[in-house]
Amino acid sequence: MLMIEFLFLQKPLHDTVGFSKAIDGITIDVALQWCSDAYSDTILGYANSMRTVDGGTHIDGVKASLTRTLNNLGKKSKIIKDKDISLSGEHVREGLTCVISVKVPNPDVLDSILSKALNALKAALAAKRARELVRQKSVLKSSSLPGKLADCSSANPEESEIFIVEGDSAGGSAKQGRDRRFQAILPLRGKILNIERKDEASMYKNEEIQNLILGLGLGVKDALRYHKIIILTDADVDGAHIRTLLLTFFFRYQKALFEEGCIYVGVPPLYKVERGKQIHYCYDDAELKKLQKTFPANASYNIQRFKGLGEMMPVQLWETTMNPETRLLKQLVVEDAARSKCRLFIAHGCAGGWKERTHTELFLHDQP
């Protein structure tokens, strides 16, 4: 039960339910729990201790059994009073986290399970292509770009990048300091919706979420307008919160952006140090202390701490944070979906904890 307890970071409706069954040498272990404030399901399947990320008959069987059993129990207990109403599998599994482990002694059976999983993957890809076509015709082609988006002149997504910034003040400096040929700016109005605590309908109704989807061209194959999406927020608690909410949105809405290396975090300097005509920028306290040690003991210098991006002049923002030749970017890579999703829950759930974990809990590595 250790794994199922590790995954539950929300409000459980009940204690973890688990059972084990062995028939004809095949053993299956299942642990499950529903949470009251979750709107999606997380089902992890294993066959002979190997993760079956593409599904399989063991997962399909548990899904079907849950749907059938809960419908039968609901009607028998008269909670479902209308005989013509039946809960769908999607409704039954809302808020469910489930771990399924099957041990198969015969490799031929395992091959059949994996073959089934591959067929399910192909069907899912075909359904996804159909949804993308409908969405492309009905949404993107009929919708204009967000009014606050300052687009770039390049129409080539491979060389284009967009900075998602916090508020109009930072947006103004970024718009003036950018290279208009390949850099676009999208200011956000405050904190976006926390989609982990809202259903899908609420997500699509949110104006800032709509601006992100339309501005970036999300959800439609080959329609992504920028191959480098850079989150640029203030180096304070609110900035860390906004960054976490954006990462949650991208992870839940289009996780492929992480897998394809499109998501970045911009790192603005915290300090500006002036000594005579020399100007130095420091990105953290350690770097500031290291610089101070290089000065003579009686040296005179001035230290300015940037409280927000809006305090920086456009030329300073370009030199330190936006210029591809001198800036510091961190590319976000999700190495394990379940663990990263869990860490995002931690970021939202621990009072005061997320502000310390935002940079370290997600997998970051520097990019030039």
Whole-angstrom distance, CA of residue 60 vs CA of residue 120: 10
Is 199 among the residues known to form the active site? no
In order of 149, 162, 188, 206, the CA distances from 216 in angstroms are: 10, 8, 13, 16
Q: Are 346 and 7 in contact (CB under 8 A)?
A: no
Up-side HSE of residue 167: CA atoms within 13 Å toward CB? 12
Is 166 among the residues known to form the active site? yes
Report phi then psi at 90, rounded to 5. -65, -40
Is 234 among the residues known to form the active site? yes
DSSP-derived secondary structure for 149-200: -B--S---TTT-EEEEEEHHHHHHHHHHHS-TTTEEEEEE-SSPP-GGGS-H
Q: Which residue is catalytic, options 37, 236, 274, 336? A: 236
Q: Which residue is catalytic, options 161, 196, 234, 361? A: 234
Tokens of 49: 């201790």
Element (DSSP H or E) covering residue 113: helix 107-138
Q: Which residue is catalytic, options 151, 161, 166, 361? A: 166
Is 238 among the residues known to form the active site? yes
Q: Which residue is catalytic, options 29, 41, 94, 238? A: 238
The catalytic residue positions are 166, 234, 236, 238
